[in-house]
Amino acid sequence: MKLVACPQCHAQYDVADIADETVRCPCGAIISANPPVAVDAAVKRCAACGALVADGEQVCSYCQAAVVRDPVPAGPVCPECYARNPEGARHCTACGVAFLPQPIRRTADPLECPTCAGVHLAARSLGGLWVDECPMCLGLWAPGDVMDRLVERVRERRRRDGKTACESAHRERRAAWQAAVSYRRCPVCRGGMQRKNFGHRSGVIVDWCGSHGTWLDAHEMEDIAAFVLEGGLETAPAQQKDGSWNLPADPARTAAILAAEQLLADERARSNERTQQWTFGPGHPFKGIGDLIAEFLKR
């Protein structure tokens, strides 16, 4: 891993395996693909979680990971402060920044929405990660494993806030929305995306290109949340043997979905709207999954 960070938006990119001289960041910055020269720096942060560690502390008081004071510096060089880091570090031991490279975009051309012909997706930063949102249907394209990262962040945030699982709210799923679903093409390679039936029988379909990312319709997060809250996970058949992407089997994802559902429920209560009137339409605070995640990471 050889990381560079965007000076404008601080998005990180791994330039270890790229031939290009520069990396184009969706914020507009052109970043040199030359990784920084490493410097030695005092260990002030936990390499596992980024929490502050006191002088002489042997174990992180937050996550209990061992504090490596004299590392063999074979790990990442911090793209923000240039400190050498021990192998396997997930956070910089000098400044605490998380090492989270995101997929490098090969072209400046905007991607086309897999649902709305001729409509270009707009880049949007969510918690420091770049996704693409359709201004028309508000669907969200999360490149590579960015969706997993977002879900993980929402989950971490939720854990930090000490929120407990929200109470179940039985709602009618809008299965009718799914009736019109057709096979979609990956906005990057134009190949047919795989359709994944969430929980195998929820009727909620997400689209997935194994090489490029995940597409979520604006209403899918809510539908998935409803399925989870109705106990669909417990009654769904066992996990697939082929190890294929299985949304509900991942507790992190499930927790994030529950968190998202709570947000929607809160917002719905605040705006005093009936369920029937709930839409992701214009004028509503949450216009889509992008807004939902952004709002959650803000709290």
The one segment of 1-9, 103-111, 142-150, 195-203 that binds Zn ion by CB under 5 A: 1-9
Shortest gap between Cβ of 50 and Zn ion (angstroms)? 7
Written as six digits, the tokens of 186 are 């990956």
Say whether residue 142 binds Zn ion (CB under 5 A): no
Within 189-218, which residues bind Zn ion (CB under 5 A)? Answer: 189, 209, 211-212
Residue 122's Cβ-count burial label (10 Å; 0-12, 13-18, 19+) is middle
Q: Is 82 left (phi over 0), alpha (psi -120 to 50) or beta?
A: left
Asked if 84 and 102 count as a contact pair (C-beta separation under 8 A), the reply is no
Residue 75-104 contact track with Zn ion, rule CB under 5 A, x = bound: ---x-xx-x--------x-xx---------
Torsions phi, psi for 229 (to 5 deg) = -65, -25
- The residue among 49 and 297 lying less far from Zn ion, judged by its C-beta, is 49
**If binding means CB under 5 A, how many residues of this protein chain bind Zn ion?**
34
Handedness of CA 148, 44, 12, 298 (dihedral sign): positive
Say whether residue 51 binds Zn ion (CB under 5 A): yes
Within 159-178, which residues bind Zn ion (CB under 5 A)? Answer: none
What residues pair up with 32 in beta bridges, in sequence order? Answer: 22
End-to-end CA distance of the chain: 31
Residue 230-259 contact track with Zn ion, rule CB under 5 A, x = bound: ------------------------------
Strand (E) positions, 134-274?
Answer: 140-143, 194-197, 205-209, 213-216
Instruction: Name the residues that contact Zn ion, by CB under 5 A.
Output: 6, 8-9, 11, 25, 27, 29, 46, 48-49, 51, 60, 62-63, 65, 78, 80-81, 83, 92, 94-95, 113, 115-116, 134, 136-137, 186, 188-189, 209, 211-212
